[in-house]
Amino acid sequence: MTRRIALADSLLTVAVWGAMVLLAGVFCWMLADIVWHGIGKLDWEFLTAEPMDAGRAGGILPILVATLLILLVALGVAVPLGLGAAIYLSEFTRSQSRFRRFVNISLDALSGVPSIVFGLFGNAFFCIWLGLGFSILSGGLTLACMVLPIFIRLSESGLSAVAVEWRQGASALGLSRSTTLWHLLLPAAAPAISAGLMLGIGRALAETAALIFTSGYVDRMPEALSDSGRALSVHIYDLSMNVSGGDQAAYASALVLMVALLIINGASTTLSRHFLHNRIQLS
């Protein structure tokens, strides 16, 4: 019996390590392939020049600006709405209420909706019904709809995980609900909130299908949020699928996107550890 348990533990350990090595190997292979094909074209001029010859030559400066504007619009809408919804669900509804369960189930379902569906919704609602057309604003609002389910669920989980004794202690000291929320609950839930935010940013940066139908293909420098703008992920798709001879520029653009995602994930991990460390010290 003891040998069987030891053998099962050994097999499980090998399986876990094998899965980890396999995933790490696939990621390293993909990253190495992108670096190998894209590093030759990546330089300062590529980051600061405008695209020429359908993107085969020149750089990606308008693409980066459009991507940043789309991301800012998405976060500017998703963060206050998502945080407000998470606070309401965790602090003003009962944990076993039908309404809260219904909202959580709806958020989980929305998290799994394909991005192309969000793109069609954004095109019908923001571009056509609201009359925003193909614009940075339409793309950002569509991405906000995609980010909200993930951000709300993680933020609400983080707030709900804070021990009830914290709330009871604050109430016993005569602290108001807003003071308790601002000075105790939100700092304690900061790791989950920052993780949700960074996951949302990562999904927004890598999104292609939703932006094709909302922000458009135009690769010139945007002058306003009402202008159409090509996001970096859409630029990579267009170069690789529709532009012959654009593979090297597509690889270089993909390398820029990968570096941005790695920086964001690293920042998310660092911030989470920082807030968690501060929380442990305060405890």
What string of DSSP letters covers 26-52? HHHHHHHHHHHHHTTT-SHHHHHSPEE
* pLDDT tens for each residue of 191-222: 778 778 887 777 777 778 888 889 888 888 88
Among candidate residues 190, 267, 240, the one with its CA nearest the CA of residue 54:
240
pLDDT recorded at residue 280: 52
| Residues facing 52 on adjacent strands | 57
pLDDT recorded at residue 129: 92
pLDDT recorded at residue 278: 61
* Co-location of 12 and 72 in the same domain: no
Render the burial of 148-161: b for 16+ CB within 10 Å, e for the rest: bbbbbbbbbbbbbe
CA 112 to chain centre: 14
Q: Name the stretches of the chain with pLDDT < 50.
A: none
* Co-location of 118 and 207 in the same domain: yes
* Co-location of 15 and 89 in the same domain: no
Number of domains in the chain: 2
Round to whole Å and give the CA distance between 197 and 193: 6
* Co-location of 91 and 19 in the same domain: no
Q: Please enumerate in sequence order all residues whose Cβ is within 8 A of that of 206, keeping only pairs 6 or more positions apart, or say none.
A: 233, 257, 261
- Contact by Cβ (8 Å): 232, 16: no
* Co-location of 73 and 204 in the same domain: yes
* Co-location of 97 and 229 in the same domain: yes
* Co-location of 56 and 25 in the same domain: no
Token pair recorded at residue 81? 């709405």
* Co-location of 230 and 272 in the same domain: yes
* Co-location of 183 and 79 in the same domain: yes
| Enclosing domain of residue 263 | 44-282
Token pair recorded at residue 76? 């500017």
What string of DSSP letters covers 89-144? HHHSS-TT-HHHHHHHHHHHHHHTS-HHHHHHHHIIIIIIIS---SSHHHHHHHHH
* Co-location of 222 and 164 in the same domain: yes
* Co-location of 21 and 119 in the same domain: no
* pLDDT tens for each residue of 17-34: 989 999 889 988 988 888
What burial class does residue 42 get, using C-beta atoms within 10 Å of its C-beta: 0-12 exposed, 13-18 middle, 19+ buried? buried
Find the CATH number of the domain harbouring 234: 1.10.3720.10
* Co-location of 13 and 59 in the same domain: no
